[in-house]
Amino acid sequence: MTSSSAAWRARPIAWSGQPLPSLPGRGAAGVDHRRGDAGAERSAGLVAAAREAFEKGADAGAFESEAILELTVAAGEVALIRRATETRIAAGASLRLRRLDVVRASAAAVLRHPALGELKLPPGAEMTAWNVAQFLGAAGQAWVEGLPRAALNNQATALTELEAVLPAAHGAIRAALEQSEIEGWDGAGRSALRMVLQAFDE
């Protein structure tokens, strides 16, 4: 899909002028990553931070190239905000959610992922890489939550699957690592799981 397609209509968006926030996932006060609280209230901050940083020529580095989630708009239309520019994406088109992106749904919309299933966005929803999990259906949530335990048991396929859906799985990974520490879990599986999470946080 090219930028000239009817499904993609890009335009600059206004910056609110609010101070730059600390990036989600960097220990911001009051944010519980396991619940995905970094989502809606921080999306406006991401847009503001992106505008100021990119206007100064900043390179987002791994935040633009790693831990990306490939999605398709199954129903409705969403706005993808990247580098402070808004692109409208209609049903049938695909998008790549990066860690500094925001997906907005002015009306109800449905996104789809081959493994995660449907992600239903209610009117007014704002989805980022930090709160994807809250939009998953029951089956998608169960699948994601089961992967970290499998990875702790040294199942290599589970690690590969987690790496492919990190924006949806980082909260489940954090919870599994915390629980494994309580249980005194030690071994290669735990170390590998921490490395997968590191790819999202750095």
CA distance 195 to 148: 12
Q: Enter the pTM of the model.
A: 0.70
Average pLDDT, the chain: 77
Residue 84: the pLDDT is 75
Here the tokens at position 135 are 């939009």
Q: In this predicted structure, what is the pLDDT of residue 48?
A: 57
Q: Does position 115 have pLDDT exceeding 90, yes or no? A: yes
pLDDT digits (tens, 9 = 90+) for 85-99: 899 999 999 999 998
Q: What is the tens place of the pLDDT at every residue in 1-59?
A: 333 333 333 333 333 333 333 444 433 323 333 333 444 444 555 555 555 555 544 45
For residue 49, what pLDDT is reported?
59
CA–CA distance, 80 with 87 (Å, rounded to integer): 5
pLDDT at 13: 35
Residue 155 reports pLDDT greater than 80:
yes
Average pLDDT score over residue span 151-170: 93
pLDDT of residue 102: 92
Q: What percent of the chain has pLDDT over 70?
A: 67
Please say if the pLDDT value at position 131 is more than 70. Answer: yes
Highest mean pLDDT among 22-31, 58-67, 143-152: 143-152
Query: Is the CA virtual torsion 1, 84, 81, 147 positive or negative?
Result: positive
Q: Which helix (DSSP H) or strand (DSSP E) does residue 171 occupy?
A: helix 166-182
Classify the phi-psi angles of 46: left when phi > 0, otherwise alpha if psi is within -120 to 50, otherwise beta. alpha
Mean per-residue pLDDT for 70-79?
97
Q: For residue 94, what pLDDT is reported?
A: 96
Burial (Cβ within 10 Å: 0-12, 13-18, ≥19) of residue 162: buried
Residue 81: phi, psi to the nearest 5? -105, 115
